[in-house]
């Protein structure tokens, strides 16, 4: 029957058309996501390189103690103020482009965001919390750009109540 054949053929073409339209819509959505990801995460390599500059500026500023800064002459103070302003501007520009600095002090240690460098015995802070930051960590969007290098509070050793069984035996009783 030629009419049934044409109807079947038309249905096949309609099915192919609908599948092609769905594929094109999926491609459009995937391309939009990829373009958005490229905009947000495309600067990751560049941002990692710039973080080294930010770290060096931070180290340079921390190398001078408060007393030395107070005793410095006006020219040196102006230089230090300029370096501090430059560091702040650098961090502002990074944040403008989606790179955020982590402030982990006081937070619970998270291996997805922090890298523990050492443990610190401290009875004033809760165990497993960050107490020192050696190197700042950064996020770009919702991805980790660089984990923070931190010092973590070590759990205090638990003291066992002493009992009669804990006493060591003397040589005269051990025979």
- Whether the per-residue pLDDT at 101 is higher than 90: the answer is yes
Greatest mean pLDDT among 65-74, 113-122, 156-165 lies in 113-122
For the question of whether the overall pTM of this predicted structure is more than 0.85, the answer is no
> What is the C-alpha to C-alpha distance for residues 101 and 137, in angstroms, rounded to an integer?
6
Pairing of strands 114-121, 148-154: parallel
pLDDT at 167: 54
- Sign of the CA dihedral with 167 first, then 169, 173, and 175 last: positive
- Whether the per-residue pLDDT at 92 is higher than 90: the answer is yes
User: pLDDT digit string (tens) for 129-171?
Assistant: 999 999 999 999 889 999 999 999 987 665 555 555 555 555 5
Rounded percentage of the chain residues whose pLDDT exceeds 70: 89
- Whether the per-residue pLDDT at 175 is higher than 50: the answer is no
pLDDT at 136: 93
Three-state DSSP at 6 gives helix
User: pLDDT digit string (tens) for 33-69?
Assistant: 999 988 888 889 899 999 999 999 888 888 887 788 8
> What is the C-alpha to C-alpha distance for residues 6 and 129, in angstroms, rounded to an integer?
73
pLDDT at 71: 84
Query: For 15-122, where are the E strands, in sequence order?
Result: 99-101, 114-121
> What is the C-alpha to C-alpha distance for residues 154 and 159, in angstroms, rounded to an integer?
15
Place of tokens 């594929």: 23
Those residues with Cβ within 8 angstroms of residue 150's Cβ, 6 or more apart along the chain or in another chain: 104, 109, 114, 115, 116, 117, 130, 131, 132, 133, 134
């Amino acid at each position: 029957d030629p009419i049934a054949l044409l109807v079947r053929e038309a249905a096949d073409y309609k099915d192919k058309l609908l599948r092609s339209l769905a594929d094109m819509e999926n491609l459009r959505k995937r391309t939009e996501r990829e373009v958005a990801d490229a905009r947000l995460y495309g600067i990751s390599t560049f941002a990692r390189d710039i973080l080294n500059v930010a770290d060096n500026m931070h180290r340079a500023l921390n190398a001078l103690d408060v007393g030395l800064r107070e005793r410095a002459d006006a020219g040196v103070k102006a230089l230090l103020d300029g370096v501090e302003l430059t560091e702040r501007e650098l961090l502002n520009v990074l944040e403008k482009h989606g790179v955020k600095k982590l402030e982990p002090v006081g937070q619970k240690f998270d291996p997805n965001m922090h890298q523990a460098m050492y443990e610190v015995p401290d009875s004033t802070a809760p165990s497993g919390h960050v107490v020192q930051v050696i190197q700042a960590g950064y996020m770009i969007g919702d991805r980790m750009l660089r984990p923070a290098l931190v010092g973590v509070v070590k759990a205090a050793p638990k003291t066992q109540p002493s009992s009669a069984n804990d006493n060591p035996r003397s040589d005269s009783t051990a025979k």
